A and B are shown apart, each in its own frame.
Chain A
C-alpha cells in the first residue's frame, strides 16, 4: 500500500492544490469515482473525461487523463461525438446541476432518451456555485440564493426521475454523506452500457450552505444524513401519504439493460476479454522496446552509409525523422 492519498497518483501534481473551496463535496466524488475505476481495472488510457462549466467541471483539468473541458451545458453533446467516433473510449461526463439540468437540459434529455453510451456524474449542489451562488433548477423551494433572496419560489427538477423517465439504462442518486454508495454506483454503472447517470448531492457550504444556515461542510453533511430517505422506503411513505418534499430521496431509480445507441448503430466491436493492467503495461513496454531497437538499427545503418554531415547530425542527437528532413531539403 502506497503512503500517499490514493487519489494522488491520478492527479496532476503540478496543478495542485485545486481551486475548490474548503469542504467542497466535489473532492469526495473524485475519491469515490477513482476508487471505482481502480477496482474495475479500467484501461486508463481509454478513459476520456468531458466536462462543461462549473466547479465540478474543473475536475478533469486536475486528472491525468484525456479530457475535454467544453462550453456551458454541452458536455453531453461533445461526449456523444467522442463516443460515436471511437466506441472503444470510456466516456465519463463530469457536470453539475446547473450545467446539465438548466442550459444543458435538452442534451441531457436526448442522451437519456437515446440511451447514448456514456457515464454522467452530476454533482448537484443545489446552486450555481462557481458564479457565486445563484438559484438553479434543483434548488429546493424556499431556500435562499443570490437570485432568490426571498426564498426560491420554483419547484425543483428531480434530475434522477427525469433521466429515468427518459429511458436511461442506469440512474442512481446518493449524497456525499455516503461515499461507499457513490463508489458502488459508479462501479455498477461502468459495467453497463447505454446512458448511466450517477447524481451526487454535494455540499457547497461556501456560497450556498452559508446562506441557508448550514455554514460548514460538516453541518451540510449532517443535514444530508438526517434528511435522506432510501427510495424503496420513500415509495412506501408516499403511499401512506407522508409529505417528503423537504427530504432527499436516494437510491437506484433505474436499472435496465436496454441496448445503448452504439449497439443499435452496429458499432460494438467484438466482445474482448478485458486485459489485466499488468499485461497491458507489459505489452506497451515490449512495443516501446521494439521501437527503440528499430530506431537504433536505423541510426546504425545511416552511420555506416553516411557522410560526415549525417554523422554530425547523429552526434547532435537528431532523430531519424529530423535527419531525413534535413537530407531532403
Chain B
C-alpha cells in the first residue's frame, strides 16, 4: 500500500503529503495551523492506510519532538506547520541537528510576524529556517514553487535528511500550499535511508570512513546507544567540558552540509547565459518572475531568472558568477532575508523588490521595476 500515482489535479498540501508517503514516511505528528492543516488532515486518513501512524499532538513542540523519537525507533517522520509553530519548534530543530536525526519539517509560510495573516502567503521564515535555533549547526532548506514540486521536493527532503542525517525544512507558502494544479505522480520513486552501523560497534557518532556522516542506529536492536543533546564524544557520551571534543563535533555538524553543498544545491535558470539583468527568486513569486522575464525579453531587455530550489545551503558561487555578468534583482515576500545571502555572495549592489501584505508580485510590477533600473 503506497502513494497515489498517475496524473492528478491536487492541492499543494496534499501533493506534499503524498510525497512524504512516497518517500517512505510512516509517522506524522502535527498540530493544526493555517495554512498547513490540510497536510495533517490528509495524513490522518492516509497514514493508517499505508501502515503508518498519525497523531495530533498537544502543541508544535510535542509534534516535532515526537517525530524525532519516531525516527530513532526506526520510522521516517514528518511534521507540518506555519510561522508561529515553526518558531516554537526551534529548540528541537537544534536538538535534531545535534543528535543528527533525519526529520522533515514542512513550513507553509504565512504573513507574519506573530499571528499576522493566517490565510495569506509570505516567505518570511526563510532565514529562521537556517538560523532559528541557538548555537552553530547547519540544515537544508528547500523551496517549492508548484504543486509538482510539493510532491517532488518532499521526496527530496526525506532523501537529503537521511543522507546527511539532518533536519530538512520544506519552505512552502500559502499559495503553493493551497493552489491546485496538475501533478504527475510516478509509480517508482527513488528513496534513500541512512545506513545502519554494525551491531557491537561502540563509536556510534564517529563518521563513516570517507564521510562526515556517522552510520545510524535504531532503538531496540541491541545497539545500546545513548543519544544526547549535550556535547558528546564519538561514543555518544556527554563531554561538555572538553573544548576539543566540542569544536570537533560542532564543526563536523556544519561541515557535513557546507562541504557537501555542491552535491546538495539545486537551482533553476532561465535565459541567464546572455542576461544583463537576472531576477533572483524562489517559491510562489518565482512564477511571476518567470512571466516577467518573458515579457522583458519580448520588449528587448536581456532578462534572465535564477530560481533558488535549495535556499540553504545557498548557491553562493553561482550568484557571484551571475553578479559579475548582470544586475541582480531579488524578489521575495519579506523585507529582505535571502537578499542578505545574495548581497553577501554578489559583493556588489543588488536591487530589491520586496512585497509583503499577502499579495503575490504581479509580472507587470516586476517588469516596471526592472525597466526603471
Which residues does A use to contact B, with CB under 8 Å?
12, 15, 45-46, 48, 50, 58, 60-61, 64-71, 74, 77-86, 88-89, 106-107, 109-110, 265-267
Contacts and interface: CB of A to CB of B under 8 A. Distances in A.
A107 B226 contact: no
A266 B71 CA distance: 20
Contact of B224 (A64, A78, A110): A64
A45 B221 CA distance: 6
A61 B226 contact: yes
Q: Which of the listed residues A67, A77, A107 has the most CB atoms from chain B within 10 Å of its own CB?
A: A77
Contacts of B27: 81, 84-85
A107 B75 contact: no
Contact of B69 (A45, A64, A68, A109): A68
B367 interface: no
Contact of B55 (A15, A46, A65, A80): A80
Given A15-B237, A71-B65, A80 B57 contact: yes
A64 B223 CA distance: 9
A81 B73 contact: yes
B1 to A, nearest CB: 15
Contacts of B66: 77-78, 80-81, 84
A119 B55 CA distance: 19
B122 to A, nearest CB: 28
B225 interface: yes
Nearest to A267: B53
B74 interface: yes
A10 B227 CA distance: 17
Interface in B74-91: 74-75, 77, 91
Contacts of B226: 60-61, 66-67, 69
A78 B219 contact: no
Interface string B203-234: 00000000000000101111111111110000
Interface residues of B, number: 42
25 contacts: A45-B220, A50-B69, A61-B228, A66-B219, A67-B227, A69-B227, A69-B238, A70-B65, A71-B92, A74-B65, A74-B92, A77-B57, A77-B65, A77-B66, A78-B68, A78-B69, A81-B65, A82-B70, A82-B72, A82-B73, A84-B55, A85-B27, A106-B58, A106-B59, A109-B58
A242 B175 CA distance: 64
Contacts of A48: 73, 219-220
A89 B61 contact: no
Given A46-B220, A66-B220, A84 B70 contact: yes
A68 to B, nearest CB: 5
A81 B238 contact: no
A19 B172 CA distance: 45
Which 4 A-B pairs have CB atoms at the shortest separation, nearest pair first? Answer: A81-B69, A81-B66, A85-B73, A69-B228
A78 B71 CA distance: 10
A265 B225 CA distance: 28
Contacts of B77: 81, 85
B62 A79 contact: no
Nearest to A116: B55
B95 interface: yes
B220 A86 contact: yes
A74 B228 contact: no
B69 A80 contact: yes
B104 interface: no
A265 B27 CA distance: 13
Nearest to B55: A84
B75 A69 contact: no
B29 interface: yes
Given A61-B237, A71-B91, A107 B219 contact: no
Contacts of A64: 224
B61 A74 contact: yes
A63 to B, nearest CB: 8
B292 interface: no
B67 interface: yes
A327 B73 CA distance: 34
A58 B238 CA distance: 10
A76 B26 CA distance: 20
Nearest to B68: A78
Contacts of A74: 61-62, 65, 92
Interface string B87-105: 0000110010000000000
Contacts of B74: 85-86
Contacts of A110: 57-58, 62
Given A74-B61, A81-B65, 19 more contacts: A45-B220, A46-B220, A48-B220, A61-B226, A61-B238, A67-B227, A77-B66, A78-B68, A80-B29, A80-B57, A80-B66, A81-B29, A81-B67, A81-B69, A85-B27, A85-B71, A89-B219, A89-B220, A107-B58
